[in-house]
Amino acid sequence: MSALKGAAVIGQSGGPTSVINASAYGCIKTALENENITKVYGMCNGIKGLLDDKLFVMDEEDPAELALMKTTPSSALGSCRYKLKDASVDETDYQRILEIFKKHDIRYFFYNGGNDSMDTCNKVSKYMLAHGYECRVMGIPKTIDNDLAGTDHCPGYASAAKYIATSLMEIYHDARVYDTGMITVVEIMGRNAGWLTASAALACAKGQGPDLIYCPENDFDLPSFIAKVQSIYDQNGKCIVAVSEGIHDKDGKYISEYGNDLSNARDGFGHAQLGGLASYLANELKKATGAKVRGIELSLLQRCAAHCASGTDIEESFNAGKTAVEKAVEGVTDKMVGFVRDTVDGKYVCKYELFDLNVVANTEKKIPADWFNATKDGMNEKFVAYALPLIQGETDLPKEDGLPKFVHLKKVLAK
Amino acid sequence: MSALKGAAVIGQSGGPTSVINASAYGCIKTALENENITKVYGMCNGIKGLLDDKLFVMDEEDPAELALMKTTPSSALGSCRYKLKDASVDETDYQRILEIFKKHDIRYFFYNGGNDSMDTCNKVSKYMLAHGYECRVMGIPKTIDNDLAGTDHCPGYASAAKYIATSLMEIYHDARVYDTGMITVVEIMGRNAGWLTASAALACAKGQGPDLIYCPENDFDLPSFIAKVQSIYDQNGKCIVAVSEGIHDKDGKYISEYGNDLSNARDGFGHAQLGGLASYLANELKKATGAKVRGIELSLLQRCAAHCASGTDIEESFNAGKTAVEKAVEGVTDKMVGFVRDTVDGKYVCKYELFDLNVVANTEKKIPADWFNATKDGMNEKFVAYALPLIQGETDLPKEDGLPKFVHLKKVLAK
């Protein structure tokens, strides 16, 4: 295929991770260095920035400062949660995108995000093809949820998993320090897939993890949960539980919603609870056991704790962005870069391959049923074998005054 | 003074920190190496282990494993919240302690904890003196709260402060990633003193911190707080707030009690159990502003996140334990080791000095009034100048399989 000359644009979408900027940096750096790419733009807040013609000129950034993107959490270009309508329903956004593409001679479109972002890529790609505008479209995955189909794992997952396992180990030491009883409930992100919560099992593999792990892949039964905790507590005087925010009963009702009902009944609060699953379960356990119970919600920290990122994750995320540019320049379009796991000399190796966008966009990958233990309240060795290689290696995040040195971009807007 | 030969015992008490084990290790290692100290015991769960004659023989531990204490969070020997009665009220515990001292020929008593532990030291010291039993008693401070009198700062504070400032910087990047509005409330530990919450100002000094910081040193007024957040939110579309769990209104009522009756539960010392403030304030702000609001409680993580400990804190904590032994062997008794700040060639230097136990035990050090900004919703440069040197340097926590390698003691019980 002949070389396609023109500008490139990259955008970031969806919830941030510790390493989404590593992917963006892999993409931007590789694009800046490629002779076929005439200019590199960054979308201000994802596709919304493209629609608003708010594009940052990445060529204007200082290369040393730009390199800090590799270890800076969250989305340095800004993110959005904007979903493009089907072109068959409303063409307006696509017409606008084509207009902006033509204005800046954009021939390379890179979009860095989760399922919805791959859907955006797919739609943009199809529209440009249908309208005869030559443009190479590549998706670069990211999600701490690790629920994208096809790819062995997702950029961002391993860093969150490393933070969760590390924090669980630290909580393990803290929560058993007294000679008095203590139950600790740790709430972890993951609405439909339990990959993040399951990563608490990496702490168990070190003998310093939770006693029980509950993921949304299995129905959650409150009475039997309470009985199990009670039994462990009676035996050890301590019990640590890791629960996914998305655990639900056999009727599909989120356990976190039980708490809303309760507070409605109790004091007439009408507003939605703000991730109160841990406190809800803590209260239920307190009532049932009489023990001292503490609920902990890892909250935003699990997706932005770049200081505890996985070195493997950072490198793979960077390479995902780099590969997207290289493949696009080679002529590939309408694909997502993904990871394939290989073993060389008994060691984990990551290979970068291409996946169909429409498959990725419309599937959600859950934990295989046979990676849970028999009682569905913990993970077995298959999960540990899967996840452990991903969290290896430390970040080389630069420090200044004992604190992280994160990127500060100039963000020069394109005229 | 003549050399006092005999065994030493060390105990840990109160809430854990990331570096209390560094102090204990400094004490144990120095004691093991000292020729006047015949044996080194560790109390199982503080003074309760001493009363129960549950003492670990530290001489039996593998030196390489023991060295991991320096970077392991929480209290490796176990902690307690047991308060000794005044000997004038009930002598039972003191008689028992004397009995155990005699049984094991304990002539050195080291206790590692906060105000209450210094009180324990003081009482034990006085009793032994009154009963003619020669024993050197030394307090080794620890508290993330940083509220001990005399000493410039407390072991454990800086590591918590480093974690808090780092996390706040990461939250800053995460919480402003979307083009839509967002208010974030971060709840930080500290019942009566705002040192921990104030450390969020270190993130502000990097331009990546909260907009507002509220400490218990100043009365908190809910309506004017809401108005301030609203005004910042209207201007920037984002607002991040750091609040101490201990903020209270002008009548001394905790704000957390406004919405949370569970805080009536009290611990062994009669302190109110606080928590749930972040969600309470988040709900209030949501009602008032209509914005998306997220409440985050840093919870236990701030006191046990050894992976983000301050190298300076680890060294100073180790040296506090080491100094306690050295001074005791030299003949000092009834003192606490503390820190005095010095400046050499324009650089921060920590000196180790001795403080009277009874002063430390009965005073609570708060942030000086002139370290707050004029509107009492943030810190000024005096606080930053105080705290910044303390968080310098990183931990050299050993890793295994990408996770921390924490100490695992044999805990051989003395007969």
Instruction: State the best of B179, B183, B260 to mutate against chain A, taking most chain A CBs within 10 Å.
Output: B179
| Interface subset of B 301-320, CB within 8 angstroms of A | 301, 303-308, 310, 312
Out of B205, B310, B403, closest to residue A169 by CB: B403
Number of helices (H), then strands (E), in chain B:
15, 13
Element (DSSP H or E) covering residue A355: strand A347-356
Assigned domain for A44 exists: yes
- The larger pLDDT score, comparing residue A264 to residue A224, is at A224
* A74-110 per-position pLDDT tens digit: 999 999 989 899 999 999 999 999 999 999 999 999 9
Distance CA B4, CA B15 (A): 32
Cross-chain residue pair A305–B167, CB shorter than 8 Å: yes
CB atoms within 10 A of CB A85: 12
DSSP code at position B182: E
- Residue B256 in 3-state DSSP? helix
Assigned domain for B152 exists: no
**What's the pLDDT score for residue A261?**
59
Instruction: State the best of B112, B403, B408 to mutate against chain A, taking most chain A CBs within 10 Å.
Output: B403
Distance CA B409, CA A113 (A): 45
> Regarding beta strands A335-344 and A136-141, do their DSSP bridges make them parallel or antiparallel, or are they unpaired?
parallel
CB proximity B261 to A under 8 Å: no
CB distance A333 to A137 below 8 Å? yes
**What's the pLDDT score for residue B2?**
67
Q: Can you give the residue range of the structural domain that contains A46? A: 6-142+306-361+394-404
Q: What is the CATH number of the domain that holds B218?
A: 3.40.50.460
Please say if the pLDDT value at position B1 is more than 80.
no
- For residues A175 and A294, membership in a common domain is answered with yes
**What's the pLDDT score for residue A260?**
65
Q: Which of A215, A212, A203, A201 is nearest to A236 (CA)?
A: A212
* A284-300 per-position pLDDT tens digit: 999 999 999 999 999 99
Q: How many domains does chain B have?
A: 2
Name the pLDDT band for A341 (thresholds 50, 70, 90).
Answer: very high
Distance CA A235, CA A242 (A): 19
Instruction: State the best of B167, B173, B287, B400 to mutate against chain A, taking most chain A CBs within 10 Å.
Output: B173
Q: CA angle, corner B323, sides to B319 and B327, nearest 5?
A: 180
Assigned domain for A377 exists: no
Q: Which of A145, A137, A75, A131 is nearest to A106 (CA)?
A: A137
**What's the pLDDT score for residue A275?**
47
Q: What is the CATH number of the domain that holds B76?
A: 3.40.50.450
Assigned domain for B82 exists: yes
If you average pLDDT over residues B266-278, what whole number do you get? 53
**What's the pLDDT score for residue B276?**
82
- For residues B349 and B275, membership in a common domain is answered with no
- For residues B285 and B346, membership in a common domain is answered with no
- Residue B374 in 3-state DSSP? coil
Amino acid symbol at A217: E
Residues of chain A contacting B176 with CB distance shorter than 8 Å = 74
Q: Which two tokens stand for residue B371?
A: 């370290």
* A1-41 per-position pLDDT tens digit: 568 999 999 999 999 999 999 999 999 999 999 999 999 99
Domain boundary among B270, B305, B340: B305
- For residues B345 and B250, membership in a common domain is answered with no
CB distance A57 to A39 below 8 Å? yes
- Residue B397 in 3-state DSSP? coil
Burial (CB count <10 Å: 0-12, 13-18, 19+), residue A391: buried
Assigned domain for A415 exists: no
CB atoms within 10 A of CB B252: 7
Amino acid symbol at B171: I
Percent of chain B with pLDDT over 70: 95
CB proximity B74 to A under 8 Å: yes
Percent of chain A with pLDDT over 90: 89
Residues of chain B contacting A394 with CB distance shorter than 8 Å = 399, 402
- For residues A171 and A280, membership in a common domain is answered with yes
Domain boundary among A257, A287, A304: A304
- The larger pLDDT score, comparing residue A249 to residue B275, is at A249
- The larger pLDDT score, comparing residue B258 to residue B326, is at B326
**What's the pLDDT score for residue B275?**
47
- For residues B106 and B191, membership in a common domain is answered with no
- For residues A287 and A355, membership in a common domain is answered with no
> Regarding beta strands B106-113 and A182-188, do their DSSP bridges make them parallel or antiparallel, or are they unpaired?
unpaired
- For residues B223 and B136, membership in a common domain is answered with no
**What's the pLDDT score for residue B124?**
97
* B392-409 per-position pLDDT tens digit: 999 999 999 999 999 999
Assigned domain for A253 exists: yes
**Sign of the dihedral defined by the CA atoms of residues A221, A224, A227, A228, in that order:** negative
Q: Which of A203, A398, A392, A407 is nearest to A311 (CA)?
A: A392
Torsion of CA B28, B29, B35, B36, to 10 degrees: -20
Assigned domain for A378 exists: no
- For residues A197 and A225, membership in a common domain is answered with yes
Q: What is the mean pLDDT of chain B?
A: 94
**Sign of the dihedral defined by the CA atoms of residues B143, B144, B145, B149, in that order:** positive
Please say if the pLDDT value at position A367 is more than 60.
yes
Assigned domain for B251 exists: yes
**What's the pLDDT score for residue A72?**
98
Cross-chain residue pair B301–A301, CB shorter than 8 Å: yes
- For residues A210 and A296, membership in a common domain is answered with yes
CB distance B18 to B303 below 8 Å? yes
Domain boundary among B287, B305, B323: B305
Please say if the pLDDT value at position B360 is more than 90.
no
If you average pLDDT over residues A337-357, what whole number do you get? 96
- Residue B117 in 3-state DSSP? helix
CB proximity A269 to B under 8 Å: yes
Distance CA A362, CA A158 (A): 23
* A381-414 per-position pLDDT tens digit: 999 999 999 999 999 999 999 999 999 999 999 9
- For residues B71 and B44, membership in a common domain is answered with yes
* B16-65 per-position pLDDT tens digit: 999 999 999 999 999 999 999 999 999 999 999 999 999 999 999 999 99
Q: What is the mean pLDDT of chain A?
A: 94
CB distance B77 to B45 below 8 Å? yes
**What's the pLDDT score for residue B115?**
86
* B297-330 per-position pLDDT tens digit: 999 999 999 999 999 999 999 999 999 999 999 9
- For residues B279 and B314, membership in a common domain is answered with no
State the residue for tokens 């034990």: B124
